[in-house]
Amino acid sequence: MKKRFLALALAAPFALQAQWVNDPASNTLLANSSNDAGEIYLATNAVSGDTYLQWCSFGPNGWSPTLQRVNFEGIPQWGDGGIRIAAHQFSSMSEGLSMTTTTDGAVVSCFANYDGYTYAVKINADGTFPWGEQGIMLFDGQGFSRTELTACTDGGFWALGADYNNSYLQHVAADGSLGIVNTITSDKKCVFGQLTLGKDNSVFLTYEKLGNGFYTDKEIHLVGFNADGTPFAEDVTLMASQSFQSTYIHRVLSDGNDGGYAYIWHSGIDNAFNVYVFHFDNNGVSTIGDPNGITVHSTDPANFYLDAHATVDPISHDLIIAYQQTDASTQSQDRIYMNRITPTGERVWGEGILVADNDGHPHANIKIDAYEDGSGFSIVFEQGLSYMDNTSTMIALGFDMDGNPTWNTTLSASAYGRTICENTTGFLSGQNIVAWVNASNGGLYGQNIQPNGEMGEIAPEPEPCAGPENFEAEYVYDAQTGHYGVKTGWSPVAEEPTLAYYIYRTDLSNNQTTTIEIDGTLSDYFDEVEIGQYKYELQAQYETCGLSLLATTPTGEDHVIVGVTHIGENTSEEIVTVTRIFTLTGQRLNHNRIGELGNGIYLIQGLTKDGQTVNRKIVVNK
């Protein structure tokens, strides 16, 4: 397909070989845009490390999106103005656009056009359009307002659209094949939906039911769908009905365990703004007993708590949420707090931890992101010069997971009017990216921040150590102990002093992995296990260069699959009582009746006349 590049305002100087800078006074120019640009979204591809940006601005075809691809070094890849979605006409106002990067290295932009149809346009990393520049129409022509996307692990994604009364949910495969359209409707409006990915590329939809008017009754509901469009979690109420302004809508994020958190701020309880948190597990069951949710701070009539943004601790799966406190009477001062909320609704940090005090500088656009390894998190926010001035700088703060401060970095020191991104990329591959439009020159700028608080170029990861060789594993019987298991062996790397080896045994019946630490002087290990099928992997911990690559087998693979049957050398006595029956893959049947077995090969465990436990393989051929 022909690539379409449209030059926008060229007010900002641009260098095609720009790289992440560490100077807060200059920052990194990512694209030339225009000073009216907004709705900035970012997403980093976990495989390639490239980051995609989407923003909207006025052009010949209305308020339309433009996209840019930035490589890991911060160098723009799609020219100085990015690629504009130019095959559609858009209205002069936002209908709500969305963007996500897919696991096959592309980016998808989703929107409603001027004619009221919703489209998804996919752009490959090389700037080509695999579905054409028009893209594909979603929801069978329904849902002419507000879209949401969430990427699946197979290159596809889920898309959500809405009109003024209903929501429409559809799965789209990596090749553009469309799944069925699920329509969510009721006697109230079903709008403002949000998506989180569940297990096996299923999706959870949280959406709002609300009445008419600016002040209205509102509920938050949850429902889950499989990739084939069938429901797996019935519609439940997360938040009981409250009356407040319809403009305050909820947000969601995954909890890292195939469930998720939802949160919303509103004044429907005690007539005072507070942030309310909800959680649901991977079956769509609410785990917080209060139908109103748990507040991030005790309700205080003298203060409002709102403008929250959250992340999830990847180790504990707790929600870490940052929010603003402002006085209720004039809203002329503010502070930033943070709190930790467990999946059951415990407020771990009590009345919160103060992040930024009321020092005469207004705070806005809070973003919070946990580090990949779970060692801490950062909070980024816009700091205004004064309450009478619309110019601002960008500040980033680091914390450990106990809430203790670790670093303080000024991301952007030059004060000017700016439009901040709707989201940050999160810490993928060692950096988190923030972006904004400079209202003075129309440039789209951004900056990376690392878990240690540093900006700028990231030193390349050192080359990984070579792993052990000739890794083998086989099912054996240990005659000395009378035990059955798996014997593993390998050839050490002679020139590397080895501190330890780590064997990873994965039970393929449930995908549970067990780590076994082995002394660094050994080169074999006997692992006693039950009947089943297992995957074995091996790494070495070297003194000089750390953890190695996975060990390789004589044929070059990085794992071995072993089936354990417990057959062969225990006794020839006859089984008189069958205690368990297994298939050859290790799956246990729910009965012990040989006469009811279908044709095939089975593993029989039972007792002999003298009470010994023995195992046999039988062939059923009726």
**In this structure, are residues 145 and 113 in contact, taking their beta carbons and an 8 Å threshold?**
no
**pLDDT at 422 > cutoff 80:** yes
Strands 532-542 and 546-547 come out as antiparallel
Got the DSSP string for 206-250?
A: EEEEE-SSSEEEEEEEEEEE-TTS-EEEEEEEEEEEEEEETT---
**In this structure, are residues 544 and 499 in contact, taking their beta carbons and an 8 Å threshold?**
no
Q: Which tokens belong to 299?
A: 């309700």
List the beta bridge partners of residue 583.
602
Sheet holding 524-528, edge to edge: 469-478, 483-491, 524-528
The band of 1, judged by pLDDT with boundaries at 50, 70 and 90, is: very low
Strands 136-137 and 118-123 come out as antiparallel
Whose CA is closest to 588, among 611, 615, 569? 615
Query: What is the Cα–Cα distance from 231 to 224, expressed in whole angstroms?
Result: 6
Query: What is the Cα–Cα distance from 523 to 531, expressed in whole angstroms?
Result: 25
**pLDDT at 581 > cutoff 80:** yes
536 phi, psi to nearest 5 deg: -115, 135
Q: Which tokens belong to 360?
A: 């005469």
C-beta contacts of 586-593 below 8 A and 24+ residues apart: 586/508, 586/509, 586/531, 586/532, 586/533, 587/509, 588/531
Whose CA is closest to 77, among 109, 45, 102, 36? 45
Burial 62-78 (b: 16+ CB within 10 A, else e): ebbbbbbbbebebbbeb
pLDDT of residue 11: 40
pLDDT of residue 92: 87
Query: What is the Cα–Cα distance from 82 to 5, expressed in whole angstroms?
Result: 7
Got the DSSP string for 159-222?
A: EEEE-SS-EEEEEE-TT--EEEEEEE--SSEEEEEEEEE-GGG-EEEEEEEE-SSSEEEEEEEE
Query: What is the Cα–Cα distance from 159 to 369, expressed in whole angstroms?
Result: 24
Three-state secondary-structure class, residue 567:
coil
**pLDDT at 113 > cutoff 60:** yes
Got the DSSP string for 308-338?
A: EEEEE-TTT--EEEEEEEEETTT---EEEEE
The band of 586, judged by pLDDT with boundaries at 50, 70 and 90, is: low
Q: What is the pLDDT of residues 116-165, one digit of tens each?
A: 999 999 999 999 999 999 999 999 999 998 899 999 999 999 999 999 89
Q: What is the pLDDT of residues 384-418, one digit of tens each?
A: 998 888 899 999 999 999 999 999 999 999 999 99
CA 458 to chain centre: 23
pLDDT of residue 566: 63
Torsion sign, CA atoms 194, 196, 197, 202: negative
**In this structure, are residues 362 and 307 in contact, taking their beta carbons and an 8 Å threshold?**
no
Average pLDDT over residues 87-107: 93
CA 243 to chain centre: 32
Give residue 570's region: left, alpha or beta (phi > 0; psi -120 to 50). Answer: alpha
pLDDT of residue 13: 45
Query: What is the Cα–Cα distance from 66 to 544, expressed in whole angstroms?
Result: 47
**In this structure, are residues 186 and 209 in contact, taking their beta carbons and an 8 Å threshold?**
yes
What residue spans define the domains of the chain?
1-10+29-185, 469-564, 575-620
Average pLDDT over residues 235-258: 96
Q: What is the pLDDT of residues 159-183, one digit of tens each?
A: 999 998 999 999 999 999 999 999 9
**pLDDT at 479 > cutoff 80:** no
**In this structure, are residues 78 and 107 in contact, taking their beta carbons and an 8 Å threshold?**
no
The band of 480, judged by pLDDT with boundaries at 50, 70 and 90, is: low
Three-state secondary-structure class, residue 101:
strand
Q: What is the pLDDT of residues 334-387, one digit of tens each?
A: 999 999 999 999 999 999 999 999 988 999 999 999 999 999 999 999 999 988
H/E element, 433:
strand 432-438
pLDDT of residue 291: 96
* CA-CA-CA-CA dihedral for 492, 496, 501, 505, to nearest 10: -60
Query: What is the Cα–Cα distance from 171 to 263, expressed in whole angstroms?
Result: 25
The owner of tokens 């052009």 is 59
pLDDT of residue 573: 64
**In this structure, are residues 47 and 153 in contact, taking their beta carbons and an 8 Å threshold?**
no
386 phi, psi to nearest 5 deg: -160, 170
Per the prediction, the chain carries an average pLDDT of: 90
For residue 388, what are the contacts with CB-CB under 8 A and spacing of at least 6?
none
The owner of tokens 């807060």 is 24
Average pLDDT over residues 484-492: 89
Is the model more confident about 226 or about 476? 226
pTM of the model: 0.76
pLDDT of residue 172: 98
Could you tell me the end-to-end alpha-carbon distance of the chain, in angstroms, rounded to an integer? 59
Torsion sign, CA atoms 71, 77, 80, 83: negative
Q: What is the pLDDT of residues 26-44, one digit of tens each?
A: 999 999 999 999 999 999 9
Lowest mean pLDDT among 379-393, 454-468, 540-554: 454-468
CATH no., domain 469-564: 2.60.40.10
Query: What is the Cα–Cα distance from 130 to 184, expressed in whole angstroms?
Result: 30
